[in-house]
Chain A
Amino acid sequence: MSRNSANGEANRSLPGRLRSRFEGPNTIGESRGFWVGFAVAVAALVVYPAFGDGSQLSLFMVLALLGLSLSVVWGYSGVLSFGQVVFFGIGAYTFGVVSINFATPGGITAAVVAGIVGGGVSAAILGYFMFYGGVRDVYVTIITLVSTIVMHTFMAQTAGSEWAIGEAALGGFNGMPDIPLLTLGIEGASYQFIYNPFPMRIIGIGSFEISPFYYLVLLLLVGTYLGLRVLVNSDYGRVMVAVREDEDRTEMFGYNVTRIKFVVFTLGGALAGLSGVLYAARNVYIDPTVFSLLFATLPVIWVSIGGRKSLLGAVVATLAIEYLRISMAGELALVLLGTLLLVTILVLPSGFVPWLHERIVETRLGPGEAGGADAPDTPSEVSD
C-alpha cells in the first residue's frame, strides 16, 4: 500500500486504483511486469487444452483451490489445519447426497451451494469448539489431524444399506458412484458442464473440442486467487497476519483474535468445500480415500513447498506437484515427493515461490522485470 501511494500517478487513475486493491505487503508481485506475466499465464491456461490434457489439468486446478484454502488458514492466520480434507470431503459428500436426491438442474445447483455451506458449517463447528475452547497452536493441528482420521474411520464403515440418505447410499469403502453431472441453473435455463465438450473452430489453427468444466474451474481458480489477494491485503488481512505473527500482542491491541481465527477457519472450510464439490463433480464419484492420511497431508505439502505465506506459491506448487505425482506413478514417486518435502522444509523454510521472487527482485535490472519472470511459472510448470 505504502509503495503504491508513493506511486501517485497509478493511484489516481481508475485501473491504478483497482490494481491497488490487489497489492500490498502480504502478496508478492506488485509490478506491472507481474500483471503482464499473470495475464500471460492465464492466457496460457486458456489455450492449454488445445495442446495438452485439459481434463487432468482441471483436476489439478480443483486441488489448487484446496491448496489456497490451506494457504489462507495456515499461511496467513497461522492455524495449521491438517483437516482441510475433512471440509473438502464433507463438501464432496454433501454435493453427492443432495444431487443424487434432487437430480434436476435446480437441485444440482442447490447441491453445489449445499456442499460449500457444508464445508463452511463443519469448519465453523470444529472451529468454534477449538478456538472458543482455548485450544492453541499445535493442539489445533492435532485435533484437525484426529478429525481427519475420525472421518476416515467413519466413512469407511458406511457400507451397509442402513447408511443411505434418501436415495444416496454412502457405500463405505466402495464410495458413492453415479453422482449426477454438474449442471448449473434452473429448469429450462441451465447448462451441463461435465462431458459436454463443444467444438471450436479457429481459422488458421483448426478445430478442436473444449471442455466447459475446465473453463468453469479456471474461472473459479483465477477468481478465488484474486479475491483472496484482495482479502489478505485488506485491513482484515493485515489483522490475520498480525494474529499469525503474535497472537498476544494482537489481542492486546484490542482485536478479537478468537473470532478472527474462527472466521478465517470457516472461510477456509467453505473454500475447501467448494473444491470438494468440484472434485466430486469432476469424478462423478467420491470415496473415503479423500479422508486418508496421505490425502490429508497433500495440501500441507503443496503449501509448504510453494511457500505458505504466498497464495501464488500454493497454486503453482499444487499444479506442479500434482503433475509430478501423477506422471511418476511408479513406486519411487512417494519417495521423491517425501525427499522434496524434506529438503524444502530444511533448506527453504519459506517455500519455493517466495525464494524465487527474492532472487528475481535481487537480480532485476529494471522495475518491470520482477513479476514478468515470476508469474509464467504457472504455465511452464504445468505444460512441460
Chain B
Amino acid sequence: MVNGINLALQFLDSFAFIVLAAAGLAIIFGIMGVINLAHGEFILIGAYTATLAVTQLGLPLVVAMLVGGVVTGLFGILTERVIISGAWPNWVSQRTLGRDIIEPLYNRLADSMVATFGLSLILTQGARIRFGNSIDQIATPFGAISYGAFSYSTYRIVLAGVSIGLLLATYYLFTRTDFGMRARATIQDKETAQAMGVNTDRMYMLTFGIGSALAGLTGALFAPVISMQPTLGDQFLVEAFVAVVVGGPSVVLGTALSGGVLGAILATFSNLYGTFIGRIALLVAALIALRFLPDGITGFIEQLRKRRQESD
C-alpha cells in the first residue's frame, strides 16, 4: 500500500517534470519547425530570474515565478526578432546594405539547432561569468505531507497540478481562441493565412514568446527544488527532447500522452532499480518508440483514425 503511494507520487513527479520540461520546446518545435537547443538556457533564465526576484527584491514567491515566466517570454521574443526571424538585423541591413543578411530559420531544422546551440553556449557561460558557479536558492514552500513511515514534499504535488493546468491552458489557447486559430492557420498555410489578413510575422513572434515563457515558468517553478547553477538547463533537455519526439506532431496532446507514458516508465524503473536505470529506461523507451512509431504517439493515433475512416 505504502509502496503504491510512493509509486503514484513518483509517477506524478515524473509526469510533471517531463510535461513542464517539454511544453515550451514542443510548442516552438511543433508549431514553428524550429528546434530550440537553448531551451535549457531559457529554463535557466526563468529559474534565475525567479530566484533573484525573491532573494534580491523580496518579491513573494508566486509573483517572482510569474516574473520569471514574463522575463523569459520577453527574452524569447527578442531571440525570435534577432536570431530566428532575423527581422531586426534585416531591418538594419535593408537600410545600410539594401538587402537582407539573415534568412529566417523557420523550418530549417538543422540550422536552427546549430544557431540556438550557439545562443545556449553564450547564455550558459554568460550566467557563469555574471553570477558565478551557483546562486543562493529559495526554500521549498508548503512543507511536507507524511503517511506511514514516509513523507513527501507537498510542493511536488502542487507542481503536478500546475503542469496539468498549464497543459489545459495551452490546449485552450491554441484550439479555442482567435489567437490559436490564427497561429494554426499560419502553420498550415502561411500564404493563405496572409491572404486572409493574418499577420503571420507577429504570429511567429508571439508563438515563440509563449513557448519561451512556458520554458521560463518551468524554470521558475523548479527553482526551489533544483540546485541553481549555470548548467541547470541540461537536466531538462533530455526529458524535453524525448517527450517531444515520442509525443509527435500534435503538440499538447502529444506532450500529455508522452508525459504519461514516459513518466510511468521513469517512475517504475527508478523505484525498482534507482534513478540511473530509470533514466536509461527512459532513453531506451524513446529509441524503441521512434523505431516503431516514427511519427510519435499522436502520429500513430492519427494513422489509426485514418485507417478506421477508410474502412468505414
A145 within 8 A of B: yes
Task: Establish whether residues A338 and B125, one from each chain, have CB atoms under 8 Å apart when the complex forms.
Answer: yes
> Smallest Cβ distance from B10 to chain A, in angstroms?
19
Q: Provide the bound-state CA to CA distance between A150 and B279, in Å.
A: 9
Residues of B within 8 A of A333 (CB): 125
- From residue B154, how far is it (CB to closest CB) to chain A in Å? 30
Determine the distance from Cα of A342 to Cα of B124 in the docked complex, in whole angstroms: 15
Contact with A along B101-118 (1 / 0, CB 8 A): 111000001110111011
A133 (CB) vs chain B CBs: closest residue = B291
Contact of B122 among A134, A141, A342 (CB under 8 A): A342
- Bitwise interface map of A from 103 to 147 toward B, beta carbon under 8 Å scored 1, else 0: 000000000000000000000000001100111111101110111
CB of A346 within 8 A of CB of B86, answer yes
How many whole Å from B176's CB to the nearest CB in chain A? 29
Q: Which residues of B contact A139 (CB under 8 A)?
A: 245, 290, 294
Select which of B118, B129, B245 is within 8 A of A341 by beta carbon.
Answer: B118
Q: Is the CB of B280 within 8 A of A153?
A: yes
Residue B261 CB within 8 A of the other chain: no
* Complex interface: chain A residues within 8 A of B118 (CB): 301, 337-342, 345
Interface size class of B (residues with CB under 8 A): 35 or more
CB <8 Å contact, B241 and A145? yes
A153-B280, A331-B128, A332-B129 given; A135·B290 CB < 8 A: yes
Q: Which of B119, B124, B284, B290 contacts A133 (CB 8 A)?
A: B290
Contact A149 B238 (CB under 8 A): yes
Q: How far is the CA of A334 from the CA of B234 in the complex (A)?
A: 16
Q: Does any Cβ of B come within 8 Å of A335's Cβ?
A: yes
* A346 lies within 8 A of B89 (CB): yes
Interface centre among B111, B129, B237, B290 (most CB of A within 10 A): B290
The interface on chain A, measured as residues whose beta carbon lies within 8 A of the other chain's beta carbons, has a size of: 42
Across the interface, which residues of A come within 8 angstroms of B280, CB to CB? 150, 153-154
Q: List the B residue with the shortest CB-CB distance to A150.
A: B283
Chain B contact residues: helix, strand, loop or mixed: helix
Q: What residues of B have a CB within 8 angstroms of the CB of A250 in the complex?
A: none
- Is A100 engaged at the interface, CB distance under 8 Å to the other chain? no
Give Cα A349 to B113, complex, Å: 13
Contact A138 B287 (CB under 8 A): no
- Is A58 at the interface (CB under 8 A from chain B)? no
Q: Contact between A342 and B241 (Cβ–Cβ < 8 Å)?
A: no
A10 within 8 A of B: no
Contacts of A273-308 to chain B: CB distance below 8 A = 293, 297, 300-301, 304
* Additional pairs, 19, CB under 8 Å, beyond known A141-B109, A345-B118: A74-B110, A80-B110, A129-B291, A137-B109, A139-B294, A141-B110, A142-B245, A143-B245, A146-B238, A149-B238, A293-B234, A300-B117, A304-B114, A334-B122, A334-B124, A338-B125, A341-B117, A342-B83, A346-B83
Top 4 A-B pairs, shortest CB-CB distance: A338-B121, A341-B118, A342-B118, A338-B122
**Which chain B residues have a beta carbon within 8 Å of chain A's beta carbons?**
35, 83, 86, 89, 101-103, 109-111, 113-115, 117-122, 124-126, 128-129, 234, 237-238, 241-242, 245, 276, 279-280, 283-284, 286-287, 290-292, 294
